[in-house]
Amino acid sequence: MMKSLYLDPQKCTGCLQCEMACAYEHTGAFNPAQSRIKIFNFEHEGRMVPYTCTQCAEAWCLLACPVEAITMDAATGAKVVHDGTCVGCKVCTIACPFGTVNYVAETGKVQKCDLCGGDPECVKACPTGAITYVDADWTGLDRMRAWAGRANSAVL
């Protein structure tokens, strides 16, 4: 089964445990500045929203890369950056409509979510279940169930 990250802003408290887990997995340090998942705090609305790569099926970052440094992990569907090949041209950061591929000056490479090889650390670190890893074909299942539960016997 192909799985996908599922982000629920209503459950996010803004603790940034996910950012630290992501950075530790990829850099070996607790460092939100190097996280591939980001929490955005819309202060005046009281909303905290996790955001990261959605692993597009037709991935513009992958298509844009002139040196084929971004490939698809067949097992997870993740579009993965290969540091050894990446030349830091940043074209992928322009191609991505969502801004989820970013350049890292320190390494001279780009970085993005790689789903941690199929076991995302952000999911395990999230204390409220705001980030889950679910069946990619049924990301709406829980919401369908919730609405189904509200339906009465006569009419939907």
Contacts with another protein, residue ranges (CB under 8 A): 13-17, 20-21, 23-24, 27-34, 43-48, 106, 125, 127-128
Closer CB to another protein, 46 or 66, in the complex: 46
CB of 9 to another protein, least distance (A): 10
Q: What is d(CA 31, CA 118) in angstroms, rounded to the nearest whole number?
A: 22
Please report how close the Cβ of residue 36 comes to another protein at its closest, in angstroms: 14
Residue identified by tokens 């692993």 is: 55
Q: Coil, strand, or helix at residue 18?
A: helix
3-state helix/strand/coil string of 68-109: CCEEECCCCCCEEECCCCCCCCCHHHHHCCCCCCEEECCCCE
Q: How far is the CB of 32 from another protein (least distance, A)?
A: 7
Nearer of residues 90 and 124 to another protein, judged by Cβ: 124
Residue 105 or 148: the one with the smaller Cβ distance to another protein is 105
**Residue 80 CB, nearest distance to another protein (Å)?**
22
C-beta separation of 38 from 51 below 8 A: yes
Give the span between the Cα atoms of 42 and 49, in whole angstroms: 8
H or E stretch including 38? strand 38-42
CB of 19 to another protein, least distance (A): 10
Which residue, 38 or 90, is less far from another protein as judged by CB?
38
Q: Identify which of residues 23 and 116 has a Cβ nearer to another protein in the complex.
A: 23
